[in-house]
Copies of this chain bind each other. A is one copy, B any other.
Amino acid sequence: MEAVVLEKKGLIRIRDIDIRENMGPDDVRIAVRAVGVCGSDVHYYTHGGVGPYVVREPMVLGHEASGIVLEVGKHVDTLRPGDPVCMEPGIPDMKSRAARLGLYNLDPSLTFWATPPIHGCLRESVVHPASFTYRLPPSVSLGEGALVEPFAVGLQAAKKAGITPGDTAVVTGAGTIGLMTCLAALGGGCSRIIISDRLQPKLDLAATLGPIVGVNIQKQDLKEIVAEYTDGWGADIVFEASGNGEAIQGTFDLLRPGGCVVLVGSPLEQVQLPIVTAQAKEARIETVFRYANVYDRALSLMESGAVNVKPFITKTYPFNRSVEASEYAAENHPETVKIQIIRE
């Protein structure tokens, strides 16, 4: 079938690839329709790897996907051919110890689309377990369906924060994940977000999305602004979405006594943490690794209108211009949130 293949670092081609997928009784076959270009796709393209994951063989890219069901396995009664769906890109072993605990995202044997050596979904069709395939409600488009994946990361962060209704949150970093976390935190019960970044276009976009205050840390003092908005008490939650060492270090200064820091962004290196500062506030620190059990929730929030991710689709490309889309994404335009590739 036709696919977008990362042949090696720096070389993406659209070509035929031979992928044989057995269709089990609990699987569905899906025609892929919309696929978002993720930072990790770009990183594999520009660097040939992400941390311990190195591209050694040609690999199909893409893991943020929606599509139309083509065929269902004989045990599947929750989906039908023609259903618009989105798919969780990670497939765990449900018999594993982690999965039995409800932590299937932490199963070490989990495979994940477009993480070497597993092929991604930028191709004609995929076979996928029905239990990780979610029907889109009528009001959610295929483009929005392909945004469920990055939104799910923000939602996992919001879930782990254990938001108490009316919490004030800070989000450090207004990249895709920071913005998604903003929406998830507001949809998940926060009353107000203060978001920080160095890029003004991202902050300007954020300010249009709800009760969100943008702080440009090139000109403004985040700590002072948080103190001002919280009468000196501090934020209930700080979502760290930049992965930046300095930002991570500073989170505890923004926090109220008994507050929670959620580490969503992944720093490239070890980070110096002021543990005594954290202890003086008895801070709780949560960490996020992808997501589990949030796709259905993401779709409910989109369907009800509580969360609107449509402003994040900055630009779409047809499948046959996937290489161009990847190159554009690699250029890191400050006003760009998400590039999607559409296959009709």
**Would you call A201 an interface residue if the criterion is a C-beta within 8 Å of the partner chain's C-beta atoms?**
no
Q: How far is the CA of A94 from the CA of B267 in the complex (A)?
A: 34
The answer to whether B166 and A296 have CB atoms under 8 Å apart is yes
The answer to whether B272 and A165 have CB atoms under 8 Å apart is no
Chain B residues positioned under 8 Å from A273 (CB to CB):
270-273
The answer to whether B166 and A294 have CB atoms under 8 Å apart is yes
Partner of A155, one of B160, B166, B278: B166
Partner of A166, one of B95, B249, B297: B297
Please tell me the size bucket of the interface on A: 35 or more
**Would you call A158 an interface residue if the criterion is a C-beta within 8 Å of the partner chain's C-beta atoms?**
yes
Q: Mark A70-112, 1 if CB is under 8 A from B, else 0.
A: 0000000010000000000000001111111111111110000
Q: Mark A101-136, 1 if CB is under 8 A from B, else 0.
A: 111111110000000000000000000011100000
The answer to whether A164 and B168 have CB atoms under 8 Å apart is no
- Min Cβ gap A131→B in Å is 4
A297-B166, A297-B167 as given contacts; A267 in contact with B257, CB under 8 Å: no
- Min Cβ gap A157→B in Å is 10
Please list the residues of chain A having a beta carbon within 8 angstroms of any beta carbon in chain B.
Answer: 26, 51, 78, 94-108, 129-131, 155, 158-160, 162-168, 184, 186-189, 191-192, 210-211, 231, 233, 248-249, 257-258, 263, 266-267, 270-276, 278-289, 292-294, 296-298, 300-301, 303-306
Closest 7 CB pairs of A and B: A102-B102, A166-B297, A165-B188, A189-B189, A106-B257, A211-B304, A94-B94
